[in-house]
Amino acid sequence: MQTLAGKKILLGISGGIAAYKCAELTRRLIERGAEVRVVMTKAAEAFITPLTMQAVSGKPVSDSLFDPAAEASMGHIELAKWADLVLLAPATADLIARVSAGMGNDLLSTLVLATDAPVAVSPAMNQQMYRNVATQENLVTLERRGYTIWGPDAGEQACGDVGPGRMLDPMELVHRCEDFFGPKPLEGKRVLLTAGPTREALDPVRYLSNHSSGKMGFAIAQAAVKLGAKVTLVAGPVTLATPAGVQRIDVISAVDMHQTVMSHAASHDIFIGCAAVADYRPESIAEHKIKKTAENDNLVITMVKNPDIVASVGAMTENRPFTVGFAAETQDVEKYARDKLLKKNLDMICANDVSIAGQGFNSNDNALTIYGRDCEQSLPLASKAQLAQSLMLLINNKL
Ligand code: C5P
């Protein structure tokens, strides 16, 4: 079936052994109706020849910024504008690093800088290179910028190592392209979510807050947009960039966040309370900076309860969105999560055990167990981006 009819795919090949699979990948894409133009790095040509790629794609292969003949037929800016999707496969650690640094020191990296088409990256490298913190940080940077990361697979590698770093199978990449261009499961749905911490002012210069980074909420916002939803993100004070396509409203305190959410909730289909909202705030905010005095060794601050935002949405009687909460626990995770599900009148709650190192607060990875009224599902340790996508698909199935 011509599932990719008329789709223009720019295939960027860098220098890894998996490059030999690109001939097969190109044939399968073309078989489904895609138009494929190939750009190769110089290192890629050590693994597969431009002639092979020209033969299978039926188009001239570009490999240099400074080739007058290639520039005359389709210049690099024209090529960048032509693409509906840029697929970097295999994407070596070096290409990923150059793209993440915004370099344009060869044709392929320049094209990535010059395109406004979505970019999918299919990493392929030795498992140790993949696990290296530099590569991991570069991939996180690319994900945050809205790039899609496809793979890698784990298993036996050409160098004899075993681990993550194998390029996804050509047919799997073809399926990812089909999904990418296919109908979006959350098309037409509006998602409202909270993320990050809140700050509760004590005086004009001081506040009480918590360590929430906002990463999980921002990852959910990004995943929801990729799946076709319109997303409003109510963000507490965080240092994260707004994911492409997300409407962001910045707030500071729990009371601000509550007001903003309640004025938007009825016009959304799904509400996800991902923020670490302060349970209490100082009863009053001192007009001037609170001074240290010689007489007082103790400072007593009276706190009052903040509104529970997710519970307020759960209690709505008209136009109530499908309401999802989070429960970060250190013990009895299921019990506490299920209690909150009922008490806050939620449709679903995502529980995570924050006592386990390397997941949850401030980390790039997480694992969740989802409890609904009549369902339970574990989403094992994965990047917050992957987890966010699985969560949105799960929510969509329950609407
Ligand atoms: O009660 P607890 O804070 O553990 O519940 C966590 C869930 O409740 C999260 O979804 C969080 O966003 C939400 N929450 C809220 N408003 C509050 C406190 C928590 O929306 N004031």
273 annotated ligand binder:
yes
341's CB contacts (< 8 A; 6+ apart) are 325, 348, 349, 371, 372, 373
The segment(s) of the chain belonging to CATH 3.40.50.10300 are 190-398
Q: How many angstroms is it from 246 CA to the middle of ligand 1?
A: 22
21 annotated ligand binder:
no
| Structure confidence at residue 107 (pLDDT) | 94
Asked if 19 and 47 count as a contact pair (C-beta separation under 8 A), the reply is yes
> Ligand 1 pocket: which of 310, 324, 361 to mutate (most atoms <8 Å of CB)?
310
Q: How many angstroms is it from 127 CA to the middle of ligand 1?
A: 39
State which CATH number among 3.40.228.10, 1.10.3720.10, 3.40.50.1950, 3.30.70.1230 fits the domain covering 8-181: 3.40.50.1950
> Ligand 1 pocket: which of 277, 336, 348 to mutate (most atoms <8 Å of CB)?
277
Q: Considering only CA atoms, which residue is closest to atom 21 of ligand 1? A: 308
Chain-centroid distance, C-alpha 165: 20
Asked if 355 and 189 count as a contact pair (C-beta separation under 8 A), the reply is no
Q: Is the CB of 314 under 6 A from ligand 1?
A: no
In the chain, the N- to C-terminal Cα span, in Å, equals 31
| Structure confidence at residue 277 (pLDDT) | 98
Listed as ranges, residues in the chain with pLDDT below 70 are 73, 358-362
| Structure confidence at residue 74 (pLDDT) | 74
Q: Residues 363, 307, 232, CA angle at the centre, nearest 5°?
A: 55
Q: Is the CB of 89 under 6 A from ligand 1?
A: no
Looking from the CA of residue 306, the nearest atom of ligand 1 is 21
Domain 190-398 in CATH 3.40.50.10300? yes
The SS3 of residue 117 is coil
22 annotated ligand binder:
no
DSSP state of 265: G
- Helices 107-114, 93-100: inter-axial angle, 10-degree rounding: 40
Q: Which amino acid is at 208?
A: L
Query: Is the backbone of residue 362 left (phi > 0), alpha (psi -120 to 50) or beta?
Result: left
Q: Is the CB of 220 under 6 A from ligand 1?
A: no
Looking from the CA of residue 254, the nearest atom of ligand 1 is 21
| Structure confidence at residue 342 (pLDDT) | 96
Q: Residues 52, 55, 59, CA angle at the centre, nearest 5°?
A: 115
| Structure confidence at residue 359 (pLDDT) | 63
Q: Is the CB of 340 under 6 A from ligand 1?
A: yes
Active-site annotation holds for 350 = no
Q: Is the CB of 310 under 6 A from ligand 1?
A: yes
| Structure confidence at residue 360 (pLDDT) | 59
Q: Is the CB of 254 under 6 A from ligand 1?
A: yes
Q: Is the CB of 277 under 6 A from ligand 1?
A: yes
The segment(s) of the chain belonging to CATH 3.40.50.1950 are 8-181
